[in-house]
């Protein structure tokens, strides 16, 4: 189950450094922000920057420990999840299409309204999960998103107009 680290391609070995780099970057961001804010305050002793600084330093420390672990070859295996085969190699196309389904609505949902944007995202997710009938999925997605829009609007959740053309709210 555990793939031996020597079986990894150079790209996979590079990817292993993603986590420590991200954590250290986040730590630096918080440390900088902590120093920008007042660290102390009259009476209470600590100001708004104090905790930000402490969290930043903790993240730097943890990032350093994880970097050492990665260098030593400690396995960071994915966790078992229902419906996922953690021993399978990462399917970048599956991940990419699913990510598109999540990133597209950022611009789309305000532009064309919830049902259309939701329907498109729906079809993308079904595609990422191996469905090959894109048109039918798109149709199902539009129906599901429309019904959801209608029901939740009835329940008092504000989801915007049913259909809007770029900016026309």
Partner 1 sequence: MGVFEALMQGFGVALQPMNLLWALVGCGLGTAVGVLPGIGPALTITLLMPVTVSLSPTAAFIIFSGVFYGAMYGGSTTSILINTPGESGSMITALEGNKMAKRGRGAAALATAAIGSFVAGTIGTALLTVAAPAISEIAFIFGPAEYFALAILAFTSVSVVLGASMVRGLLSLFIGLALAVMGTDNQTGAARLVFGVPELLDGVGITIVLVAMFAVGEILFVASRLSKEPQQIINVSGPIAMTREDWQRSWKPWLRGAAIGFPIGVMPAGGSEIPTLLSYALERRLSKHPEEFGHGAIEGVAGPEAANNAAVAGVMVPLLTLGLPTSATAAVMLAAFQNYGLTPGPTLFTTNTELVWGIIASLFIGNFMLLVLNLPMARVWVKLLAIPKPHLYAGILIFSLVGVWGLSQSPVDMMLLAGLGLLGYMFRCHSIPIAPALIGLILGPMAELQLRRALAIGQGDPLTLVSSPVAAALLLAALALLSLPLMRAMRSR
Residues 80-99 that bind partner 1 (CB under 8 A): 81-86, 88, 90-92, 94-95, 97-99
Is residue 126 exposed (0-12), middle (13-18) or buried (19+ Cβ within 10 Å)? buried
Site for partner 1 in 104-123 (CB under 8 A): 105-107, 109-110, 114, 117-118, 121-123
Of the candidates 115, 84, 126, 120, the one whose C-alpha atom is nearest the C-alpha of residue 103 is: 120
Distance of closest approach, residue 129 Cβ to partner 1, in angstroms: 4
Distance of closest approach, residue 151 Cβ to partner 1, in angstroms: 9
Distance of closest approach, residue 124 Cβ to partner 1, in angstroms: 8
Out of 152, 162, 163, 165, which residue is the one contacting partner 1 (CB under 8 A)?
152
Helix axes of 92-112 and 114-128: crossing angle, nearest 10 degrees = 170
Matching residue, tokens 């031996």: 4
Rounded to an integer, what distance in angstroms lies between the CA atom of residue 163 and that of residue 119? 12
Rounded to an integer, what distance in angstroms lies between the CA atom of residue 35 and that of residue 51? 11
Out of 103, 134, 165, 166, which residue is the one contacting partner 1 (CB under 8 A)?
103
Question: Is residue 156 part of the contact set for partner 1 (CB under 8 A)?
Answer: yes
Distance of closest approach, residue 43 Cβ to partner 1, in angstroms: 5
Question: Is residue 58 part of the contact set for partner 1 (CB under 8 A)?
Answer: yes
- Please answer whether residues 134 and 127 qualify as being in contact, where contact means their C-beta atoms are separated by less than 8 angstroms: yes
Site for partner 1 in 8-47 (CB under 8 A): 18-19, 22-23, 26, 29-30, 33, 37-38, 41, 43-47
Rounded to an integer, what distance in angstroms lies between the CA atom of residue 69 and that of residue 164? 51
- How many residues of this chain interact with partner 1, rule: CB under 8 A? 81
């Amino acid at each position: 189950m555990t793939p031996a680290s020597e079986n990894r391609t150079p790209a996979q070995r590079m990817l292993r450094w993603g986590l420590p780099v991200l954590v250290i970057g986040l730590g630096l961001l918080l440390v900088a922000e902590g120093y920008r804010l007042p660290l102390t305050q009259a009476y209470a002793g600590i100001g708004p920057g104090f905790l930000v600084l402490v969290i930043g330093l903790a993240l730097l420390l943890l990032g350093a420990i994880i970097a050492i672990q990665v260098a030593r070859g400690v396995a960071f295996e994915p966790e078992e999840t229902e419906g996922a085969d953690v021993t399978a190699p990462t399917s970048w196309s599956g991940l990419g299409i699913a990510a598109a389904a999540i990133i597209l609505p950022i611009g789309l949902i305000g532009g064309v309204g919830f049902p259309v944007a939701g329907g498109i995202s729906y079809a993308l997710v079904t595609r990422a999960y191996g469905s090959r009938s894109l048109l039918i999925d798109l149709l199902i997605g539009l129906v599901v998103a429309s019904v959801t829009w209608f029901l939740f609007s009835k329940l008092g959740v504000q989801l915007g107009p049913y259909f809007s053309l770029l900016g026309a709210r």
